[in-house]
């Protein structure tokens, strides 16, 4: 059975609360990522800023790109724990328009899983298990 910590991307690009919007925008553009977690000084997740958030910001002439990210981030963020089952995350993505979820351990940000990560996992399992028809059983416990 796969758990979040087995699949998550561990190198998470993030910004700290208080950093200017331009920092988040630069990271998102240079690293080609669609959303970036916002953390406090103790690495606790406090929000996420996404491409959708950025689009809303960019068309508003009253917003300065030096304004802090926490003024514009999404604060209600669905998270999973590092030992949560991948199937739970898979089902969440099926039901939700979200494209990524932060992964926490002891309340601290330790990784992120995107839809693309799960697609890659399934593709790799199918490639390895070409002779077997029950590749899906490796994700779902019997």
Matching CATH number, 4-138, of 3.60.15.10, 3.40.1190.20, 1.25.40.80, 3.10.580.10: 3.10.580.10
User: In this structure, what token pair is assigned to residue 34?
Assistant: 């669609």
Report percent pLDDT > 70 for the chain: 90
Sequence spans of domains, the chain:
4-138
The more confident residue out of 54 and 19 is: 19
SS3 state of residue 139: coil
For the cut 80, the answer to whether the pLDDT of residue 6 exceeds it is: yes
51, containing H or E segment: helix 51-58
For the cut 90, the answer to whether the pLDDT of residue 8 exceeds it is: yes
| Least confidently predicted of 36-40, 52-56, 86-90 | 52-56
For the cut 90, the answer to whether the pLDDT of residue 39 exceeds it is: yes
> Bridge partners of 100?
114
Reported pTM: 0.85
| Least confidently predicted of 8-12, 79-83, 84-88, 130-134 | 130-134
């Amino acid at each position: 059975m796969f758990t979040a910590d087995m699949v998550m991307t561990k190198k998470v690009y993030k910004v700290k609360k208080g950093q200017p919007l331009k920092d988040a925008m630069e990271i998102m553009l240079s690293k080609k990522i669609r959303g970036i977690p916002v953390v406090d000084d103790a690495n606790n997740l406090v929000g996420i800023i996404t491409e959708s958030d950025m689009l809303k910001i960019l068309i508003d002439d009253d917003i300065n790109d030096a304004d802090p990210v926490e003024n514009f981030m999404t604060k209600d963020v669905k998270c999973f724990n590092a030992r949560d089952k991948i199937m739970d995350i898979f089902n969440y993505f099926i039901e939700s328009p979200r494209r990524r979820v932060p992964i926490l351990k002891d309340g601290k940000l330790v990784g992120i899983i995107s839809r693309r990560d799960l697609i890659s996992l399934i593709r790799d399992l199918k490639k390895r298990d070409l002779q077997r028809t029950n590749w899906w059983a490796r994700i779902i416990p019997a």
